[in-house]
């Protein structure tokens, strides 16, 4: 929006600048243990997270310029056209795939020799490129042909079901985020102001007129107020947005009363909370890849090549529907990774109980290949509630993991699919050895009970969560914002982040979050008489 000179924008960021480490895709998981991650853990889970101390899974959220997009895996997966058509069908006009596609195209600069202009854009601020695996260890097309899985050129185009190379938000091997694509290019504009390490603690609302007019924030221990002439836009993320709303008196009346917060608007904030659940299957291979010197690795990175330009050396991604072979909408995403050492994966699996930590430790300095299974559309539902009325206290993050057993059933389908891959001739050439989960050895190995035990212990949440302040029409009992992302019952207050997503998508939330931002900017500009052509 900063291209509109009459708009004056103040961006408040709780974290600090993205830095050189955030530019290196391969080192992304290291950031999970840094101050760029909020450091959240879930509440104790009844049906999962057994491998973490207290049954409390780590929950990753970026505390840095660019948010979670600055520290996650950079995968550029928009989701399925049917996902967005559902958004519109639920009573959210303007959010069908046909209507959001122009905003996807506007934001991207797609790098490929095969561009379908019906679906892809170029010249936008967010560079999208195919990951080039190094070393060159791939599951060949013959494996997927044997299994009847089609090879697709572009899962962000007409069809999603099948296997493909991975697209990531990178530019000459360096990570691309909302910070690099949008914020940093705006820093020189006279009407754009950025304040870092500014923790917003309250939305200021005129209770008589129900109008938002600013925020309170803390910087260096001092509380400040910032007021808005036009409106207040909250983009604090799927955890912090509902927490901030409730601290400001917007939320379920019983939750607010419990913490002695005056009620401004009784809305179902935090009542819906859904996201992908991941499960990894690891195996050792005897294929040996030559290790390069540190100097050579750095030299290649500076040229936009080499292992540092890849996130954990992703080799391929597969989308499939295990319940309906004729469906065009996947229920699972399976990513294949190859690592010369598993060291980079361990940070996302911290706070383990001793048995699981022992399992993780055995991978160090060994060549590990693994499949990451992602449940795309969980039936289980979690919630976000307040721990107290103190903004510094992290909220309660209930994942609801496996509260609906159907979610385990779908992930088990994915496990069976991977077992088929491991039995193919191509994979057998590499003499793979599946790594067992010893903490489930009371069950017969490879039985359904064995895998369900493993799921309960080490399945984990990723970044891809949404819906904690969901969009919906009047009459939707769980809607917090309308189709223009305006908070119901409060004037001049809008939410623009993945919290507003009404139903889960068949992909990752970085692309859809950027799209939501582009579409919101267009709606806001039109509201103030500024019209921009969207091709």
Binding residues for FAD: 64, 200
Checking 207-211 for CB contacts under 8 A at 24+ apart, the result is: 207/262, 207/264, 209/491, 210/264, 210/265, 210/489, 210/490, 210/491, 211/490, 211/491, 211/492
Of 100, 80, 15, nearest to 516 by C-alpha is: 100
Q: What are phi and psi of 144, to 5 degrees?
A: -75, -30
Residue 265, classed as helix, strand or coil, is strand
- Strand, helix or coil for residue 40: strand
Q: In angstroms, rounded to a whole number, what is the distance separating the alpha carbons of residues 252 and 261? A: 11
CA distance 46 to 399: 10
Tell me the torsion sign for CA atoms 333, 507, 409, 48: positive
Sorted by sequence, the CB contacts under 8 Å of residue 80 that are 6+ apart come out as 160, 328, 329, 330, 505, 506, 507
Numbered residues of the known binding site: 64, 200
430 is catalytic: no
Candidates 190, 377, 430, 464; catalytic one: 464
- CB-count exposure of residue 341 (10 Å: 0-12, 13-18, 19+): middle
Residue with tokens 């006009």: 93
Question: Which parts of 37-161 are beta strand (E)?
Answer: 40-41, 58-59, 108-111, 126-130
For strand 332-339 and strand 314-320, is the pairing parallel, antiparallel, or unpaired?
antiparallel
Catalytic, out of 190, 367, 430, 508: 508
| Helical H segments across 369-508, by residue range | 406-422, 425-428, 448-458
* Structure token digits, residue 405: 């057993």
Whole-angstrom distance, CA of residue 492 vs CA of residue 229? 9
Q: Catalogue the active-site residues.
A: 464, 508
């Amino acid at each position: 929006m900063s291209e509109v000179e009459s708009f004056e924008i103040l961006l408040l960021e709780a974290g600090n600048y993205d830095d050189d480490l955030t530019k290196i895709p391969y080192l992304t998981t290291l950031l999970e243990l840094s101050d760029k991650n909020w450091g959240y853990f879930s509440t104790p889970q009844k049906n999962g997270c057994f491998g973490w101390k207290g049954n409390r899974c780590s929950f990753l959220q970026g505390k840095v310029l660019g948010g979670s997009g600055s520290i996650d895996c950079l995968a550029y997966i928009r989701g399925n056209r049917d996902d967005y058509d559902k958004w519109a069908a639920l009573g959210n006009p303007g959010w069908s795939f046909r209507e959001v596609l122009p905003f996807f195209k506007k934001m991207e600069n797609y790098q490929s020799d095969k561009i379908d202009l019906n679906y892809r854009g170029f010249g936008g601020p967010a560079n999208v490129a195919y990951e080039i695996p190094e070393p060159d260890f791939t599951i060949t097309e013959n494996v997927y042909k044997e299994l009847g899985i089609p090879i697709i050129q572009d899962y962000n185009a007409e069809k999603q079901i099948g296997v493909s190379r991975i697209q990531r938000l990178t530019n000459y091997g360096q990570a691309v985020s909302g910070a690099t694509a949008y914020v940093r290019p705006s820093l020189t504009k006279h009407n754009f102001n950025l304040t870092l390490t500014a923790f917003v603690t309250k939305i200021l609302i005129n209770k008589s007129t129900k109008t938002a007019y600013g925020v309170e924030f803390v910087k260096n221990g001092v509380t400040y107020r910032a007021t808005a002439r036009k409106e207040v836009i909250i983009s604090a993320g799927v955890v912090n947005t509902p927490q901030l709303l409730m601290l400001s008196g917007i939320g379920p009346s019983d939750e607010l009363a419990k913490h002695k917060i005056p009620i401004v608007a009784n809305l179902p904030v935090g009542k819906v909370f859904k996201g992908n659940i991941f499960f990894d299957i690891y195996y050792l291979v005897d294929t040996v890849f030559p290790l390069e010197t540190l100097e050579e690795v750095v030299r290649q990175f500076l040229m936009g090549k080499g292992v540092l330009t890849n996130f954990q050396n992703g080799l391929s991604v597969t989308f499939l529907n295990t319940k309906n072979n004729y469906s065009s909408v996947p229920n699972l995403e399976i990513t294949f990774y190859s690592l010369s050492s598993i060291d980079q994966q361990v940070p996302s699996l911290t706070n383990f109980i001793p048995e699981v930590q022992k399992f993780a430790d055995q991978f160090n300095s060994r060549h590990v290949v693994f499949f990451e299974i992602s449940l795309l559309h969980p039936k289980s539902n979690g919630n976000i509630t307040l721990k107290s009325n103190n903004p510094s206290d992290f909220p309660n993050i209930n994942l609801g993991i496996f509260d609906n057993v159907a979610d385990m059933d779908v992930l088990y389908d994915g496990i069976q699919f991977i077992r088929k891959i491991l039995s193919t001739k191509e994979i057998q050439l590499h003499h793979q050895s599946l790594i067992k989960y010893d903490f489930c050895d009371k069950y017969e190995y490879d039985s359904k009970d064995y895998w369900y035990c493993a799921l309960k212990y080490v399945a984990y949440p990723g970044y891809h969560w949404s819906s904690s302040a969901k969009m919906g029409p009047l009459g939707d009992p769980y809607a917090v914002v309308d189709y223009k992302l305006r908070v119901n019952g409060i004037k001049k207050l809008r939410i623009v982040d993945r919290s507003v997503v009404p139903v889960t998508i068949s992909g990752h939330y970085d692309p859809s979050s950027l799209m939501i931002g582009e579409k919101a900017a267009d709606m806001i500009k039109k509201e103030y008489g500024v019209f921009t052509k969207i091709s």
